[in-house]
Structure 1
C-alpha cells in the first residue's frame, strides 16, 4: 500500500484547506473581538438611555389636551418622538419643534410610522401656527418624565420611544435636528 500522495491530491487538499480558512478566519476574528469586549458602534446622534425604561410598563401617564390618555402601544407598531419643552416655549423652542416635524415628513412613505407627542404647556400660538396639525399635545400627569425636561426657558429636548414603550434615545437641549432626522431614517424603514 502506497501512502504517498500525488501532487494533484496535495493541491486539492490545499484548496480545501484554503476554502475552510476563508470561512473560519472571519468567524474566529469576530469571536475574539466579542470576547475582548469590542462591539460595533454605529454613529447615532441621540444619547442612549441606560438603563432603558419602558414607559408602558412604568405606567407613565400622558393626558392629551382632549382629555384622553396617550396609548404607548398603538393599533399598529409606530414609534413616538416626544418633545419635552422647558418653560415658556417661544421662538427657539418652536424652531426646534418645526424641524422635528420636518424630520418626520422626510420619512416620506414611512412618516406614518412615527407619532409626534408634545409634552408640556403648549405655546400660546400653538393653534394659529399649525402645531396641532403635527403634534399631539399632552401633559405628564405624574411628572415621570421630569428628569428629561429642560429647565431653561425656550428650550426643548426629545425622547425617541419604541412602539412597545421602550425608550431608545434622548436628544438633550441643543441637539442637532439633522442628526435626529438621520437617526429616524435608520430606525424607521
Structure 2
C-alpha cells in the first residue's frame, strides 16, 4: 500500500518537470500567435528593397585598376564608406573610428573588408588610411543614393559576403553603434 503514494508523488514530480520545460514554449507560441515579434535594436537602417551588388554587376574599380570582387574567396563582409564632398578632418575622424571598429573584432577582424569609395582625403597617404582601407571608385555611380551631399561627411553600407547590401548608415551615424552592429553580425 505504500507504493501507491510514492508512485503518485513520482508522477506529480514528473508532471511538474514537464510543465517547467513546456511553459516557455507555450508562452512563445502564444506570443507568436498574437502577432508579437521581438525586435533587435540595430543602429543602421535596413536597405529595402534588398539589393545584391554582385547580381547587379555593380562595378567598383580599385586604385590599382583591379575590379572589386563582391564574392570573396572566403566569407567576409564588406563595409563601404562613401564620403561626401571635400572629405576633411571630420570625415577622416569617422573613417578612423570605422577602422577601429574593425580592429575591435579581434580574431574576427579578417572577416570584414573595408572599402572606401570616392576622392580620398588630401592627407590619405600620411594618415595611414591606405593601411586599413581599399580605395576605389564607383564606376557607374550606382551607389550615389547612399553618398552624403553634406561636405566633410561620410556614410556607410554593410554588404554580405554574397554581395547583398544589408544595412546603411547615413551621414552623421554613430560609429560606436556601427561597432556594436558589427560585433553582433561578425562572430
Unmatched 5+ stretches in structure 2? none
Deviation, 1:135, is: 0.7
Deviation, 1:39, is: 2.2
Asked if residue 32 in structure 1 is aligned to residue 56 in structure 2, the reply is no
Match of residue 81 from structure 1? 79
Q: How many pairs were matched up?
A: 185
Asked if residue 54 in structure 1 is aligned to residue 68 in structure 2, the reply is no
Structure 1 range deviating more: 85-94 or 46-55:
46-55
Match of residue 66 from structure 2? 68
Q: Distance in 2 between matches of 1:177 and 1:31?
A: 37
SS at match of 2:49: coil
Runs of 4+ in 1 over 6 A off after TM superposition: none
Match of residue 179 from structure 2? 181
Deviation, 1:20, is: 2.1
1:138-157, aligned counterparts within 5 Å?
A: 138-157=136-155
CA shift digits 1:78-104 (9 cap, x unpaired)? 111100111111111111111111111
Over aligned residue pairs, what C-alpha RMSD do you find? Answer: 1.7
Structure 1 range deviating more: 101-110 or 46-55:
46-55
Deviation, 1:77, is: 1.1
Q: TM-score, normalised by structure 2?
A: 0.91
Q: TM-score, normalised by structure 1?
A: 0.90
Unmatched 5+ stretches in structure 1? none
Q: Distance in 2 between matches of 1:39 and 1:58?
A: 32
